[in-house]
């Protein structure tokens, strides 16, 4: 049993290191897209899907973040199947769906942000809920090679849930 746990821990560490060491994109034409999603969900159960793929790292009950990559990123073939869900971003329109349920009476707001540094200097998507006990939202955001003039973050608040 102890050997199995040690083996699992080493395998998990190698998987995490492999994903962490993948390079993020810059805004140079032809580079694969790279970004991250961050959830600050103390007291919430949270589910996130991007382009129909569940982002299993984001569950709520704390702060979670993971890097995200283009569906056609060249490193995708080298990543184990259990890590394939982070290869979800694409040029053009993308869809993000967030579903949440408040699990306690705490006053900490829920926040979910998606960013693509190197292309955009502000989040592409930002959800913040302070008063809602539950919600489900789906929005479209667009990834271009560089941030267009007049770009505005897709913002979701209690009023727009």
134, part of any domain: yes
Secondary structure (DSSP) of 63-127: EEEEEEEETT-TTGGGS-GGGGGGEEE-SEEEEEEEEEEE-SS--PPEEEEEE-TTT-SS-SEEE
136, part of any domain: yes
The boundaries of the domain holding residue 55 are: 32-160
Q: For residue 151, what are the contacts with CB-CB under 8 A and spacing of at least 6?
A: 120, 122
- What tens digit of pLDDT does each residue of 74-85 get? 999 999 998 999
Q: Can you say how many angstroms the Cα of residue 107 is from the centroid of all Cα atoms in its chain?
A: 23
Mean pLDDT of 124-130: 97
22, part of any domain: no
Find out whether 160 and 133 touch, Cβ atoms under 8 Å: no
Number of domains the chain is built from? 1
- Look at residue 22 in the predicted model and tell me its pLDDT: 46
- What tens digit of pLDDT does each residue of 10-40 get? 334 333 444 444 444 333 445 679 999 999 9
10, part of any domain: no
């Amino acid at each position: 049993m102890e050997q199995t746990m040690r083996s699992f821990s080493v395998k998990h560490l190698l998987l995490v290191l492999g994903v962490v060491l993948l390079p993020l994109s810059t805004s140079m034409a032809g580079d694969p897209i790279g970004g991250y999603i961050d959830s600050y969900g103390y007291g919430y159960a949270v589910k996130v899907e991007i382009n129909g793929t569940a982002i299993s790292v984001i569950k709520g009950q704390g702060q979670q973040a993971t890097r995200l990559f283009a569906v056609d990123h060249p490193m995708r073939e080298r990543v184990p199947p259990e890590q394939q869900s982070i290869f979800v971003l694409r040029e053009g329109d993308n869809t993000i769906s967030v579903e949440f349920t408040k699990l306690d009476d705490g006053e900490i707001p829920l926040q979910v942000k998606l960013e693509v540094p190197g292309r955009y200097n502000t989040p592409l998507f930002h959800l913040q809920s302070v008063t809602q006990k539950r919600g489900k939202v789906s929005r479209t955001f667009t990834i271009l090679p560089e941030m267009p003039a007049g770009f505005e973050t897709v913002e979701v608040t209690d009023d727009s849930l």
